[in-house]
Chain A
Amino acid sequence: MAKSYGIGSIYFGILGVVTLAFGIADLIVTIGGDSFTWSILEIPGDMFRGGWGGLIILFAGLFYLSGIKNLSEIHQLSKVVLGSILIWIIAGTDIFTMITESIPGGEEGGWFNTLEDFFGTYAPPYAPAIFLLPFSLVVIYYVYKRK
């Protein structure tokens, strides 16, 4: 039991540092003004997704880091859960935006998008929150483990 929480602390510690780094990168890119794309990663440069979104990712990283000590304690675990919830909200809204963009056919097209363009909307590059999403889901294991 204690060993698994120890592994959890290390895992969320690393995830916290990565999340924090993504948050800082988001803010720096937003201050720069243009979005930054590297391979399949895209850091948005607009005030809303880059600025606000970046600030929230930074908060998520801080929640992870503040919760890793004594993870088996419920109040500490709740901070880690909260870090994950923040990432789920950001990633969830990013995915919802993709869904709303993928359905209509656009100004020149028909009522609905073509199948090719529909799937094309979901192609990379992705924002940092989407990359963090699968790693943040690990917290569900710890929530159920506690139950």
Chain B
Amino acid sequence: MKLNVDERWDLIDKISKEVVSYGKYEHTLKDALGELSVKPLAGIPIAITVLYGFWSVFSSFAGTLWTDGFMVKIFDEHFLPWMQAHFPGEGGWLYYIVVGDPAADNCFEAFGVLTSGLFVAIGVVLGAILIFYLMLTLLEDVGYMPRLAVLIDTILHKIGLHGYAIVPTILSLGCNVPAITATRILETRKQRFIMMTLLAIFIPCGAQLGIMEEVIPDTMGVVVLYLIIGYFIFGFVLNKIIPGKSPEILIDVPPYQMPTKRNVGRKMWMRTSGFLKVAVPFVLLGCMIVNVLYLTGVMDQLANALGPLLMGWFGVPKETVGPLIAAFLRKDLAVAQLSAIEMTDYQMITSVVLVSIYFPCVATFAMMLKEGWKELLGSLVVLAVVVFLYGGLVHLIGILAGVA
């Protein structure tokens, strides 16, 4: 049987009359709360509260309980002395690489592969990553993330992105590697390039945040503020100079719902195991390479060669060259190394900002390469300019404020 257009519409009417029931939809409390969280007047206080809760739980668990509560004791009071006493060949190069400084009384200063390396990976980073991913998963599964995307859409349009760019940005606060993959949710090459570059430069990963919380608890806020300001300034500039489109988004905002244990458990396992597979080998490798560079005298030569630039332009001691090299392997490791260098508070702030905005860690680098070598090359050019300009600017601000 063949129907003409009118007959088809009649048939549709008939079917819809039989299967669709009409009535007045009453808003539920969940609907009303959902609406409030996307309206700027109520949504911004909610977003501030969520970030407050996120950070408070993160620092209490990762800092107070995991690292300071148990891991410092395990590593500094038991594991380090045991390694120093039992590892053969004290004073030899192998001892130096594996155990580190025989006179060190804590794992931050020892800098051996199996002392500082394991302490950073397990004693600091694991706790930070576990709680970070738990909180992030809960926010996703409750349904808050799409609302945050809607809320922040207008602001992110100023830097050529849209609301959903908040997903890779927040993911990046855990680890840059999955965040680079997540940039694929952005529609155009321009957006993906801006996002990838900003992530690689301005977003510190969870591991780095955990170490910063441990090493510079009092001045960490200033470092984060510098990074946030840089994120928006350079995002704005990139949006102006890079050709291409930044389209609008149309997203489906799901209702608020209770997260299920199974989903949370699966996501946590997937993310944490993925992170550990990537992070732990690089932390250990980083310790090893830096120690070898010290042993062979390469580090001293580099420090002398780059000293004038580091001290004159950035205002940091020339010894920071070691952490800057380590930062290519792991930024958390680099911040841990910085803690062993004598410097003023503001030099420490500048150094941590430099480590953050300097070259992305090698895992991120590999991920960016996978997304396209042209994008990677472009990001590296931007990065070089940003390090030079922004690093100098941070120093200048310090001079003007009388603290540098």
Contacts and interface: CB of A to CB of B under 8 A. Distances in A.
Interface of A: 47-48, 52-53, 55-56, 59, 63, 74-75, 77-79, 81-82, 85-86, 89-90, 92-93, 96-97, 100-101, 103-104, 111, 143, 146
A111 B64 contact: no
Interface string B37-62: 00000100110111011011100110
B73 interface: yes
Interface stretch (B24-32, B294-302, B314-322, B331-339): B24-32
A40 to B, nearest CB: 22
B224 to A, nearest CB: 12
A81 B256 CA distance: 14
Given A74-B29, A100-B69, A103-B69, 17 more contacts: A48-B55, A56-B49, A59-B45, A63-B42, A75-B27, A77-B32, A78-B29, A82-B33, A85-B49, A86-B45, A86-B46, A89-B49, A89-B52, A93-B53, A100-B64, A100-B65, A104-B70
Contacts of A63: 42, 45
Contacts, number: 85
15 contacts: A48-B55, A55-B48, A56-B45, A56-B49, A56-B52, A74-B29, A74-B31, A93-B52, A96-B61, A97-B64, A100-B61, A100-B69, A101-B60, A104-B65, A111-B70
A82 B37 CA distance: 9
Interface of B: 26-29, 31-33, 35-36, 42, 45-46, 48-50, 52-53, 55-57, 60-61, 64-65, 68-70, 73, 221
Contacts of A146: 29
Prevailing SS type, chain B contact patch: helix
A93 B28 contact: no
Contacts of B33: 78, 81-82
A97 B52 CA distance: 13
A89 B65 contact: no
A82 B42 contact: yes
A96 B56 contact: yes
Nearest to B77: A107
A86 B64 CA distance: 24
Nearest to A110: B73
Contacts of A55: 48
The 6 closest A-B CB pairs, nearest first, are A104-B69, A78-B32, A93-B56, A59-B45, A100-B65, A100-B60
Contacts of B69: 100, 103-104
A73 to B, nearest CB: 9
A3 B50 CA distance: 35
Contacts of B52: 48, 52-53, 56, 89-90, 93
B215 to A, nearest CB: 17
Interface centre among A47, A55, A81, A100, by most chain B C-beta atoms within 10 angstroms, is: A100
Nearest to B37: A82
A42 to B, nearest CB: 16
Nearest to A66: B42
A89 B53 contact: yes
Contacts of A89: 49-50, 52-53
Contacts of A48: 52, 55-56, 221
Contacts of B27: 74-75
Contact of B57 (A74, A81, A86, A93): A93
Contact of B49 (A59, A74, A97): A59
